[in-house]
Structure 1
Amino acid sequence: MIVILLLTVTACLSVWLLTKWRRVKRYWLERGVPHYPPHPVLGSLTFLQRENPSLWMRKLYKDFAAPYVGIWLFWRPALVINSPDIAKRVLVKDADVFRNRFLSSGKTDPIGALNVFTVNDPLWSSLRRRLTSVFTAAKLRSLNGITVSKTRNLLNRIDIEIQKSEPIDLREIFTDYTTDVIGESAFGVTSNSLVDGDSIMRKVTREFGSFDLHRGLSWSSIFFFPELVDIFRFSFFPKDTMEVLRKIFRSVIAQRGGYEKEVKDARDLLDALLKIKQEAAKENEEINEDLLLAQAAIFLLGGFDTSGGALTWTIYELAWNPQYQEKLYQDVLETKRRIGDRNFDSAILSEVPYLDCVLKETLRIFPPMGWLDRIASKDYKIDDNLTIPAGTTVYVNGVSMQMDPQYFPEPEVYNPDRFLPDNERDITPYSYMPFGEGPRSCIGMRFAFQTLRLGLAEILLKYEVRALPNTPKPTECQVEKNGLFFMPSEKLSVEFVKRDNEFVS
């Protein structure tokens, strides 16, 4: 009797699964949306841990010359947006419909779930409003001294490294640099990775940037199947590392007089977070330690590797494109001669237009995370042929539009002149958005540019960078498969040659 019951249950379950599967795999076909045939288990996610998501997005874009493509997140239908016009509606015009992200961490991971990158409304709106005041131009200028100091350390580190026989690992020294800048800016603790070769903050960021199988599965679940996070107790940040970060966080707060000591003038991000907590308390809104720590952690994670990676790709590209390097060098040199003994700062470097042209072109080809996820909060009309139901996930495929010859002629060619003022006006709106667009665009964009401008300007003032023999061209470099950011998986190196000008000793 039990055997018959089990066989009946199994048969019924099999019929149900088969019926469900048939409905799932016909979802986009019935709506006339182009798509790859889904895998019976993974849907469209067969690329995970095999290929970087940005490269897969580009392949999808090339294979379907269509404004949107249907995919499946396991058995959940989702839509990839390949059109700047639709992207504008999703990210800006109808942003209220698409306020929330799909990616999410679970209840077992409060720090991962509460940061401004992953959290959704209503908490997101409150957090974003309060954090915006931290990233004003005036607040960022107050951090300029830290960036200047760390840039000096970066130049000293390069001087030391070029004396060695081994080629310099660009990503290693540049993530040391960005860790030191962000570590002191966000947490107010001394971080001397560039000087000592290590620091407590660098140990934290190395763990953040390490992707073994477990970490890869954690992030794959958070980004593409959040329901698994609580089941397997996955976490956005490595749990051991977060305990270290919590101890640092509490120690610095205690040194500053605790949570109750009034913050009048925020010196750094930590002060700003404490001030946010105090202001919220006056409005009868509770902000606990996990919420504050989550913002500091995402600022560190979201900045150190993305900025370090951007500087790596930029220096590597300039070594292979000496004509653009020379053009930028002359602009930087002219600016330095104009200011004399004064240090470069964010205000001065914002007046070197070609500096931003170079950085923007790097981010066009190598955006750290070039796809933006959103969830439709209600039924939404994409065009006359398609309306998606509430709850549908959409991905804006920025990484691919930025390499479309329709918007960027000869997209594989590194050409910062695209972003000269006269040329930039001709760029199709919403075909270029490495920092996202709309209310949920990257809140740290200004800080990132401040860090990158200063590091790049000082490097090029002191060194000419040259491509090394037998190294791959930038477009031939291998990209990480286990991680989700668009980062090199191999060691990238160039030759640093000291320049002959009055500012190099």
Structure 2
Amino acid sequence: MYLLLVTVVIFSSWIYVRWRHVKGFWARRNVPHHPPHPILGGLTFLQRENPEPLWSYLRRRLTVVFTAAKLRALQNLISTKTEQLSMRIRNDISQNKFIDIRSLYADYTTDIIGAAAFGVNGEATLTGESPLRSVTKTFMEYNLHRGLSWSSIFFFPELVDIFRFSLFPKSSTEYFRRIFRTVVKERGGYENSAGENRDLLDALRKLKYEADQKNEEITEDMLIAQAAIFLFGGFDTTAVTLTYLTLELAYNPHVQEKLYIELQEAKERSGGEDLDATTLTEINYMTAVIKETMRIFPSMGWMDRISSVDYRIDENLVIPAGTPVYINAAGIHLDDAYHQNPGKFDPDRFMPKNELSVTPFTYLPFGEGPRSCIGKRFAYNTMRRTVASVVLNYKLIPLPGYNRPEECSIEKRGLFLAPDRPLSIQFVPRS
């Protein structure tokens, strides 16, 4: 009994000393801070091994999929889907259906990324349903178990194996495996992968084949994970950005009209043909509208990094190597120290003559530096085509009873900064 009491006292003393040390971490460095949580502390439990070699290898090998030349090969796919998107809106209008714009865009982006990542053709853009869309719909649902899974993956990785937590539902993982193996087999397996990389799947096949030749361990699950993350990280973030962009255009008719005029002029210069990716890239106001939307409504409001070396901020603060650092990107985007009148939707701030005055590293919708989002070019390409199609075909008008963009509440249980309720506008076909 005495030994037990001594053990409890010693352990309690250690906990107290440890807590005092954690609690005073920022105070000792004269950094303004919120008091740390008595259990979570300063997130020091994130100090774990960084799988840098594998990440660097995969990143280097998959970057080739997102070059301008490779993206041009996807133009027919995106063009077909934007036509189907316009047709879907027209059909829903004729049937007097309620249009949940986030779900509409998620149907569309699931088809595009599903084809690019898994080589799977879907009809969700037209119908709202497909096997892959059933999977991505589960990604948009949140519950207690999923919250525990995500919290453990990000904050308590030591619990992941114990409780068999995963980023994706088990049914989704099995679907990914099945469809991935089916398409790889249809394309001739991993050995027949020396040809041109048409999409992400071909790049993954080639990566696996070359790794096997060098006796490097790249498992099939690693490949499937890359395709799944591309889908998970891209379909809803793009859909959410398009949702907010559509709302902003509806509530800012002067912006919508200016964009429409520039798109019309570009179409006239191209002889009435559909605008290709190169032409859309040259419409600066189009890009500015997209960038301004992502400034106010970044899909990922934070980024996390781990300091690889002791990093001195100033004479009072040194971030020790191995310390996890969370960057409040959403807060930086709305800080008037960096963006004048930050609550105003003003695409002109990203026009070429003004964008040069934006302070570096204060605009982070895709991150920045060597770990920036690998799908950035793909996302811009898709959004330009989508916005051009919607604006050229429809006038966007607010619907009474729905929130303005700045009034939208955020889904508190989700990983991304997405609206927590259906949003809609009126699509009026242009003559």
Coarse TM-score class (shorter-chain normalised): over 0.9
Out of 106, 125, 138, the residue aligned to residue 56 of structure 2 is 125
Say which of 307, 310, 315 aligns to 1:376: 307
What amino acid sits opposite 2:318 in the alignment?
T
- SS, match of residue 263 in structure 1: coil
Which region of structure 1 is more displaced relative to structure 2, 377-386 or 448-457?
377-386
In 2, the alpha carbon distance for the partners of 1:285 and 1:39 equals 42
1:324 aligns with 2:255: yes
Residue 29 of structure 1 and its aligned partner are, at CA, apart by 1.5
Structure 2 contact 47–324 (Cα < 8 Å) conserved: no
Query: Does residue 341 of structure 2 align to residue 410 of structure 1?
Result: yes
Q: Which amino acid aligns with 1:13?
A: F
Alignment partner for residue 264 of structure 1, among 179, 184, 195? 195
Q: Is the 8 A contact 1:368 1:485 kept in 2?
A: yes
Q: Which amino acid in structure 1 is aligned with residue 321 of structure 2?
A: A
Please state whether the residue corresponding to 2:35 is helix, strand or coil: coil
- In the alignment, is residue 484 of structure 1 matched against residue 412 of structure 2? no
Q: Aligned letter for 1:207?
A: T
Secondary structure class of the residue paired with 1:373 = strand
C-alpha RMSD over aligned residues: 1.8
Question: Deviations 1:128-175 (Å, cap 9, x if unpaired)?
Answer: 111111111000110111111111111111112223444310000000
Equivalent residue number for residue 8 of structure 1:
6
What CA distance in whole angstroms lies between the structure 2 residues aligned with 1:273 and 1:254?
13
Partner of 2:122: 191
**8 Å Cα contact 1:263/1:271 also seen in 2:** no
Pick one of 307, 314, 333 that aligns with 2:238: 307
CA distance in 1, matches of 2:337, 2:28: 30
2:20 is matched with: 22
Shift of 1:348: 1.8
**Sequence identity, in percent?**
53
Contact 2:259 2:286 in 1 (8 A): yes
2:108 paired residue number: 177
Distance 2:47 2:228 in 1: 17
Matched-pair contact (CA < 8 Å) for 1:103–1:373: no
User: Is the CA contact 2:142–2:414 (under 8 Å) kept in the aligned structure 1?
Assistant: yes
1:205 corresponds to: 136
Which letter maps to 2:395? E
How big is each residue's C-alpha offset from its partner over 1:50-97, in whole Å with a ceiling of 9 and x where there is no partner?
A: xxxxxxxxxxxxxxxxxxxxxx22xx39xxxxxxxxxxxxxxxxxxxx
TM-score (norm 2): 0.96
Match of 2:353 in 1: 422
Higher-helix-fraction structure: 2
Cα distance in structure 2, aligned partners of 1:446 and 1:408: 24
Cα distance in 1, alignment partners of residues 229 and 397 from structure 2: 34
TM-superposed deviation, 1:341: 4.7
Q: 1:460 to 1:31 in 2, by over 3 A?
A: same
Q: Does the alignment pair 1:39 with 2:37?
A: yes
The CA distance in 2 between the partners of 1:164 and 1:320, in whole Å, is 25
Asked if the contact 1:313/1:362 (under 8 Å) is kept, the reply is yes
Which of 361, 371, 377 aligns to 1:446? It is 377
Counterpart position of 2:430? 499
| One-letter amino acid matched to 1:7 | L
How far apart are residue 272 of structure 1 and its match? 1.6
Aligned partners of 2:99, 2:20: CA distance in 1, in Å? 54
Contact 1:103 1:224 in 2 (8 A): no
Partner-residue secondary structure (3-state), 1:495: strand
Spell out, residue by residue over 1:166-195, the C-alpha distance to the aligned partner (whole angstroms, 9 max, x if none). Answer: 431000000000000010111111111122
Asked whether the 8 Å contact 2:189–2:205 carries over to 1, the reply is no
Change (3 A) 1:327 1:341: closer
Q: Which moved more, 1:318-327 or 1:397-406?
A: 397-406
Partner of 1:27: helix, strand, or coil? coil
**Mapping of 1:452-471 within 5 angstroms?**
452-471=383-402
Instruction: Please tell me the residue identity of whatever aligns with 2:264.
Output: L
Task: Select which of 125, 141, 144 maps to 2:72.
Answer: 141
The structure whose RCO (Cα within 8 Å, separation 6+) is larger is 1
What's 1:159 paired with? 90
The separation in 2 between residues aligned to 1:272 and 1:450, in whole angstroms, is 20
Answering whether residue 181 of structure 2 is matched by residue 250 of structure 1, we say yes
Q: Contact 1:134–1:272 (CA<8 Å) still a contact in 2?
A: yes
Q: Is the 8 A contact 1:463 1:499 kept in 2?
A: yes
* Aligned pairs for 1:337-416 within 5 A: 337-416=268-347
Letter in 2 for 1:35: H
Q: Does the 8 A contact of 1:319 with 1:467 survive in 2?
A: yes
Distance in 2 of aligned mates of 1:167 and 1:474: 18
Q: Distance in 1 between matches of 2:179 and 2:208?
A: 18
Q: In the TM superposition, what whole-angstrom CA distance separates every residue of 1:241-261 from its partner, at most 9, and x where no partner exists?
A: 111111000011111111211
Q: Separation in 2 of the partners of 1:221 and 1:416? A: 39
Does the Cα contact within 8 Å between 1:346 and 1:450 map onto a contact in 2? yes
Which letter does structure 1 place at the counterpart of 2:88? R
For the 8 Å contact 1:307–1:452, the answer to whether it is kept is yes
| Moved >4 Å (runs of 4+) | none
Say if 1:103 and 1:223, in contact at 8 Å, map to a contact too: no
Q: Which amino acid aligns with 1:140?
A: L
2:39 maps to amino acid:
V
How far, CA to CA, are the matches of 2:247 and 2:269 in structure 1?
Answer: 28
1:288 is aligned to 219
What is the rounded CA distance, in whole Å, between the counterparts of 1:293 and 1:375 in structure 2? 26
- Whole-angstrom CA distance in 2 between matches of 1:471 and 1:163: 21
CA contact (8 A) 1:370 1:397 kept: yes
